Amino acid sequence: MMVFLLKMLVFPYPQMEKWVLRDVSFTLHPGEKLGLVGENGAGKTTLVKLLTRSMIQPREGFCWMARFA
């Protein structure tokens, strides 16, 4: 079981003028589900990459995860 905590997460892509994610905060507890809905380019895939630590790091804030038995 995993717990995810995101606090004041900020992420811009260098080649873009606008922020992809700005001030994103939430906690996802074991058994809870999260649905991501939005337009193309809204940051859904970026958020998943940050959650799974897939080679990108936030500019500000933090993404924490803990595994429980």
CATH number at residue 38: 3.40.50.300
Only one residue has tokens 């079981």, namely 1
Contact between 58 and 8 under an 8 Å Cβ cutoff? The reply is no
Q: What is the pLDDT of residue 69?
A: 67
- CB contact at 8 A, 11 and 20: yes
pTM of model > 0.75: yes
Count of domains observed in the chain: 1
Instruction: Please give the residue range of the domain that contains residue 40.
Output: 2-67
More confident residue, 1 or 22: 22
Task: Tell me the per-residue pLDDT of 16-56, one tens digit each, with 9 for 90 and over.
Answer: 778 889 999 999 999 999 999 999 988 999 998 888 887 78
